Every structure is written in structure tokens, then in C-alpha cells.
Structure 1
């Protein structure tokens, strides 16, 4: 008897998402496993099993599964994108906190406005803090869910509060690409070991807090008020990511797929200033100089190390 006939119609449709060749080889095993895993389940538990099955099928069809090079690159990109997203949220604290302080001071006279401001602050900030804490603890799946929730809150904020104007296209593009990187990465390949946790935490703090300090102090950079440079946030994101990329490429045995993922994880911030021409040019130039420079310097270090390792020893 074909095991697949024991699977409900919804499950059979999900199994149909697998590539034909894979389904031909493993379809009955997948059907039997799915039927056993979902037996007696209802509601959220059943939905979770169906989403896991559909996710695995689509990863294989898109060739971004754990065994594919693209999957390994995405696994390197996702924590970088999440960390930089947290960093941007930390930077935004300089503006949010001012709004919150003003709202609290008006609780007595305008309670509805104060409540709305505090609610918006919580929606925009709390998911990213949770994402950072989960990532720092090595819990990638809840970190991913929290980050997506934060991105949805950002989208609602830009759309409902600021309006959908041509100036927001770059912000929406950044949010969409960042969400795609975080969601598409194979969870089992994301580095949740001690080194990976430290990297995510350090990158998030390094990307966000220095600019937040500048914003809070109204400081200048090279004598220029830093807010007059709209592309400073992505430029700084590229700088901290480039330092991490160089550290990876300088290792004795670098993981080139993960290194490529680090570079890919910064790409959403290339889109942030679209369609404003001058800031976009600045950001693109910084990406080429910083990320490209890290790749070039890492390659030079590898060549030098290889030359030193292969140099014959002098005779005694």
C-alpha cells in the first residue's frame, strides 16, 4: 500500500512541492513520516508541521537547502543581516527615547497620545531586543521570528505614520530583503556556537551604539554635523561588517561560503537610500571600498600565509 494515501489532502499537496526526482525517491518516506508526526495534531501544532514540510520542500526546489552552496551562503548572511537590523534599532533609540520622554510628560493632558507613543515604541524596539537576546543565547528560530516581527512593525510604521512615498521605497526594499535573508537561511546551518553568538552580539552593538551616541550628543564627524550625511548608517554598517569579514578571511582555513554570506548580509543596506541618488552613490562606494577591500586584503593575507607555509626550510 502506498503510504502517501494515508496523508490528508493538504499534506499531499505540500509533498507535491518537492522536486519531482526527490519526490520519486523519497516521497513515500516523507508521507509516512509526516502522517506519523501529525497524527492527532490540531490547530497551531498541525500548522507548524505543515509549515516545516512546506519550508523543506521549497528549500530543495529553490536549491537553498543545507546541502546546497546557496544554503551555506544564506546561513552566513542571515545572522549578519539580523545583527545589523538590531544595530539600526539601537541607533533609532536616540530618536524614540526623546519621543517617549515627551509623551510621558503629557500623560496627564494627552493620555491617548502618550499611550500610542509608548505602544509604538514597544512595537518597534521590543522585537529587536528579543531577537538579540535569543541570538546571543544561540536560539536562532525564536530570534528569526522576533526579527520578522520587528520588520513587520517597521513596515507598518513607515506606511501608516509616514505614508507611502517615493522616498520610502529604499526602506521597504531593505526590509523585504532583510526578511528574505533571515527567513530563507537553513536554521540548522546558522552558527549558534559560542563564536557565532559573540559575533552577532558584537556586530549588533558595534553597528548601533556608536551612532546612537552621536545622535544623542549631537556630535560632528570631521567637523560636519553627522545627520547631514544620510548614508552614514549604511556606511558604518559596512565598516563593522568588513572588519568581521576580514577576520574570517584571515583565518588559516576560512569558510568561503560563510565569508560570502557576511558580504551578502550587508546588501539590504545598499538599498536603504533608494531612490535618492547622492546617498545611494555614497553607500555603493562605501560598500565597494570597505567590503571589497576586506575581500582583497583577506586574499592577500591568504597568499602570504600560503607562501610562508610552503617556503622550504633552510638546511642546517
Structure 2
């Protein structure tokens, strides 16, 4: 028989939850928080009790760090989150496709799929308005990638080393998705359509370039020489995700009815792509400082151009005079 004093709900009730909140918020709502939490824990199981405590604790941390949906930083992160998820899912599709079509050990394919497949599943969950499940899958993907990176450190001679590629890009995108306030993420039909559309626009062209490596082996990739046109396409594909996101940012920023901070979140979703590296396969080429600097310059140029055009469009639409009523309706007696 479980002791009531040592049951999970009872132990969670003893934790100083209200202390996690900022002093001002705690003074105004401390008693309400305690009462709501105590009511939520009545006649509940351990799993539900832990979930309730974690949700309130996360809310308290967001308020303390000024990352809630009421704060500018939180609104920017909420605007970025669907596009970060879309970009991660699109790149995952590229990696999954290359792992399936191109030769390589079966264990390598399994390792790559374990790190990338959760991103695709997370985007699918987001389209079903299951944002909590989507965030959990992103956390699983990051944890798996971190484990592989640690394994590569202790076993540098193994094939795990090739799966530490783009580690900075994956970590930045994943962390930003996880800390975004979930109550401000746009999961409307239009918001979900933008996320899916961005993912498809990134994944299809980049996946199509996979055919260039058909019939080759991984050890041959560094010595491959492509015709100038194909090589130009490969070089441009490095910045392709940033271009797609920048166009989405331009369109959203140019609408007067769009929250500028939410639109600015899409610009934030563009920035991690400065860490993108060149082909082949977006994983076999080690990070190179000149390449990263060149890619960062291209990405920032996209953002600067999109910002300038978007602001001009926004201001012109806002200041455009309305048509006089006499011009919009015709006089039946005229």
C-alpha cells in the first residue's frame, strides 16, 4: 500500500513551484498558482501529476527568462519555431533519401535515420496541431544526435564520425524550437500550410541533386568532379534553404496585418543556415572557415534584401489611400 505522504503527487506538491516565478508575478498570482496546482493533483496518477508540474515549471521559467508569449523575444521565437521545424524536417528528408539510395553500411543508415526521422515525424505532428508531441520528437532527435557525437569522440575510427555533420545547425534549430512558447506558435491552417510549403520547397530540389551521386561510393566523393553547371547547382543548394525562408519572411513582413515580431521570427529561422556546409551529401565535407564565411555572407544578404523589400511593401500598403466611395460604386442613374 502506497504511503500518501510519499506518493508522487504529494512529493510534487512539496516542491517550491511558486518560487520559480518572478517576484512580481508570484505576489500577484502566487495563491492562485498554488490552488490550481493542488486542485490538478487531486485524484491523479503519477504521470499526470508530473506533466502538470512540468508545464507550470516551464511557464515559470519562460516568465523569468522573458521568453513567454507576452514578451517580444517569446513572440519572435514562436514565429521562428514552425519554420525551424520545417527546415529541419526538409534536411532530414534529404539525409534519409541519400541514406536509402546511396551505398553504405546498414548500420550507418540506421544511425542516420535515428537522428533525422524524428524531425519529419515532428513536422507531421505539428500539422495535426500536436505541438507538444512535436517538441518531444525534436528532443529525441537532439538526444540521439548528442549520443552519436559522444560515441564519435570515444571511437573516432568508427563510422559514427560522419554523423556529427552539421551538429551546430541541428543543435541551434532544435534548441530554438524547444524554448519557443507553445501557446504563441501559429498552428492555424495558414500557419501550418506555410510550414509544410517551406519544407517541401526546400526538400524537393535538394533531394533531386542526390541523383548526381548514384553509382558512386562514399570513398569516391572527395575526388568527384562535376560539370560546371552541376557544380554551380550544388554550390547554390547550400544557401537554398535560407533563400526559401527569406522569401517567406519577405511575404509575411510585407503584410500590414502581420505581427512584425512574429514575422521577424522567420528571419531568426534563416540565421542557423549560415552553418550549412557544402556538398557532397551535406555531410562528407568537413566544415571549412572560408566556406562558412561565404555562406554566412550570402544568407545575411538574403535577409537584408528581404527586410528592405518587406518594410517597403508593408509601409506602402499601410499608407495607400482608400478609394473614394464614389469610385467603388456606380450610380445606377448615371
User: What secondary structure does 2:20 align onto?
Assistant: coil
User: What secondary structure does 1:223 align onto?
Assistant: helix
* Cα contact 1:173–1:272 (8 A) shared by 2: no
Give 1:209 deviation, angstroms: 2.0
Deviation per CA, 1:6-32, whole angstroms, max 9, x where unpaired? 975665422211111211111111011
Q: C-alpha separation between the residues in 1 aligned to 2:227 and 2:267?
A: 26
Out of 28, 32, 35, the residue aligned to residue 35 of structure 2 is: 32
* Cα contact 2:21–2:61 (8 A) shared by 1: yes
Q: C-alpha separation between the residues in 1 aligned to 2:240 and 2:188?
A: 26
Q: C-alpha separation between the residues in 2 aligned to 1:221 and 1:138?
A: 45
Give 1:124 deviation, angstroms: 2.8
Q: C-alpha separation between the residues in 2 aligned to 1:279 and 1:213?
A: 23
Give 1:259 deviation, angstroms: 1.0
Q: 1:307 to 1:28 in 2, by over 3 A?
A: closer
Q: C-alpha separation between the residues in 1 aligned to 2:126 and 2:32?
A: 33
Give 1:215 deviation, angstroms: 1.9
TM-score (normalizing by structure 1): 0.81
* Cα contact 2:96–2:112 (8 A) shared by 1: no
- Which residue of structure 1 aligns with residue 181 of structure 2? 186
Over 6 Å off, 4+ runs: 162-170, 310-315
**Please, which runs of 5 or more residues in structure 2 have no aligned partner?**
1-8, 215-225, 278-285, 328-334
TM-score (normalizing by structure 2): 0.77
* Cα contact 1:81–1:265 (8 A) shared by 2: yes
- Which residue of structure 2 aligns with residue 98 of structure 1? 101
- Which residue of structure 2 aligns with residue 160 of structure 1? 151
Matched, 1:199 2:194: yes
Q: 1:139 to 1:48 in 2, by over 3 A?
A: same
Give 1:173 deviation, angstroms: 2.8
Out of 304, 323, 331, the residue aligned to residue 292 of structure 1 is: 304
Out of 114, 130, 134, the residue aligned to residue 143 of structure 1 is: 134
Matched, 1:211 2:206: yes
Out of 11, 14, 17, the residue aligned to residue 14 of structure 1 is: 17
**Please, which runs of 5 or more residues in structure 1 have no aligned partner?**
1-5, 104-113
Q: 1:63 to 1:72 in 2, by over 3 A?
A: same
* Cα contact 1:94–1:216 (8 A) shared by 2: no
Query: What is the number of residues matched between the two proteins?
Result: 296
Higher relative contact order (CA 8 A, sep 6+): 1
Out of 260, 266, 276, the residue aligned to residue 256 of structure 1 is: 260
Q: C-alpha separation between the residues in 1 aligned to 2:251 and 2:227?
A: 26
Q: 1:228 to 1:248 in 2, by over 3 A?
A: closer
Deviation per CA, 1:270-316, whole angstroms, max 9, x where unpaired? 2345963112112211122111111111112223334532799999x
